[in-house]
Amino acid sequence: MQKITTFLWYDDQAEEAVNHYTSVFPDSRVIDVQRYGEAGPGEAGTVMTIAFELSGQRFTALNGGPEFTFNEAVSLYVDCADQAEVDMYWEKLGDGGEEGPCGWLKDRFGLYWQIVPRILPELIGDPDPERSARVMKAMFGMRKLDVQALVDAGKP
């Protein structure tokens, strides 16, 4: 078992969110579902928590009510091998959500994601500060990240 598990608080859509996320990521599954009992605070029989894995990483989702919501201060970073993965995750996680700048999006459940091509840190970390700056400038002008445009921005 991993030592630290990300815990995600939803109003009442934990089960729907988990079913969506596990359909998007390979090597994903629901591990356990706990339901509220007669003592509440949720309605007896409804989902309280769901333990699940996305690509082998464990999470727990809670139907905790409307007191707390997600914001941009915490996001899940998705490492994408290529443009095809960027496109697929952007489409599936962004469906019903909102696009943000620089590869960020908010899904329909309010959770924030960064959909990032694997090559981006290498391009931004280029030892030539002018190349790195061109890549950063290109990235800041994008919503969904375009791998070829980022590579082109980093060319001498």
Q: Which pLDDT does position 36 carry in this prediction?
A: 95
Q: Which pLDDT does position 31 carry in this prediction?
A: 97
| Helix (H), strand (E), coil (C) string for the chain | CCCCCEEEEECCCHHHHHHHHHHHCCCCEEEEEEECCCCCCCCCCCEEEEEEEECCEEEEEEECCCCCCCCCCCCEEEEECCHHHHHHHHHHHHCCCEECCCCEEECCCCCEEEEEECCHHHHHCCCCHHHHHHHHHHHHCCCCCCHHHHHHHCCC
In this prediction the pTM is: 0.94
Q: Do the domains 1-69 and 70-156 sit in the same CATH topology, yes or no? A: no
Tens digits of residue pLDDT in 39-90: 988 889 999 999 999 999 999 999 999 999 999 999 999 999 999 999 999 9
Least confident interval from 26-35, 37-46, 94-103, 109-118? 37-46
* Residue corresponding to tokens 């309280």: 48
Average of pLDDT values for 16-36? 97
Here the tokens at position 47 are 């989902």
- The domain spans of the chain are 1-69, 70-156
pLDDT bracket for residue 1 (50, 70, 90) = confident
Collect all residues with Cβ–Cβ distance below 8 Å to 118 and sequence separation of at least 6: 79, 80, 81, 82
pLDDT bracket for residue 113 (50, 70, 90) = very high
Homologous superfamily of 70-156 = 2,3-Dihydroxybiphenyl 1,2-Dioxygenase, domain 1 (3.10.180.10)
Instruction: Say if residue 134's pLDDT is above 90.
Output: yes
Q: Which pLDDT does position 42 carry in this prediction?
A: 87
CA distance 41 to 153: 53
For domain 1-69, give the fold: 3.30.720
pLDDT bracket for residue 96 (50, 70, 90) = very high
